[in-house]
Structure 1
């Protein structure tokens, strides 16, 4: 069955973090920059009508949870980093129906002239 990722959403793009995630031993020592993009499916109808934050989810709080999840532990795979962020967001915010997360690693230790390595996860709350 195809999951529905439509509807209202809260978007946070280009969240920059410094971390020690990676398979290579030097990544655990030197660390590197990572960027995270989040799209959270949330019903924003009440917030749009009321203009009250209590009817929405604070993107500042989403950021804080994502940051804490990113920094909580060292992972070898950025897939695991992304999944950990998703899990923590679902735990913290019952109103989030689905999440798309992209974890980008612009300085991945591979011989690329430009660009970045990245993963993108699409998760629905009811798949947990």
Structure 2
């Protein structure tokens, strides 16, 4: 399966279990890997047979910025559901949501979750 990568998309949003996260907001990074047969688009040099990067970015932006979720897992699951609904070419995807500044004590670069889903 061929892959389309949208790497380290950055958003500011209001997700989290703690009330201060929903009030103050924070940064989120999303990596998205879309798996599909890209040979038809490559052979015909036709964007309509692929996934436009801008459309993929816009989909993720709308999920992240127009909703409020407690869990980053829910962000990732919602992105996966929306991708399958909007892009019929995608057969499998991986979504990684990174929270660089969660309100937990300690020294670390970030926390993240990653899910992989296949079209049913």
TM beyond 0.5? yes
State the Cα distance separating 1:113 from its structure 2 match. Answer: 1.8
Q: Map residues 1-128 of structure 1 onto 2, 5 A cutoff.
A: 7-126=1-120
Q: Return 5+ residue gaps in structure 2 as ranges.
A: none
TM-score normalised over the length of structure 1? 0.90
**What SS does the aligned partner of 1:90 have?**
helix
Q: Return 5+ residue gaps in structure 1 as ranges.
A: 1-6
**What SS does the aligned partner of 2:68 have?**
coil
Number of aligned positions between the proteins: 120
Q: Is the 8 A contact 1:8 1:43 kept in 2?
A: yes
**What SS does the aligned partner of 2:106 have?**
coil
**What SS does the aligned partner of 1:28 have?**
helix
TM-score normalised over the length of structure 2? 0.96
Question: Residues of 1 paired with 2:48 and 2:25: CA distance?
Answer: 38
Q: Is the 8 A contact 1:70 1:84 kept in 2?
A: no
State the Cα distance separating 1:42 from its structure 2 match. Answer: 1.2
Computed over aligned residues only, the root mean square deviation of the Cα atoms, in angstroms, reads 0.9
Q: What residue is the counterpart of 1:3 in the other structure?
A: none
Please identify runs of 4+ aligned residues in structure 1 that moved more than 3 A. Answer: none
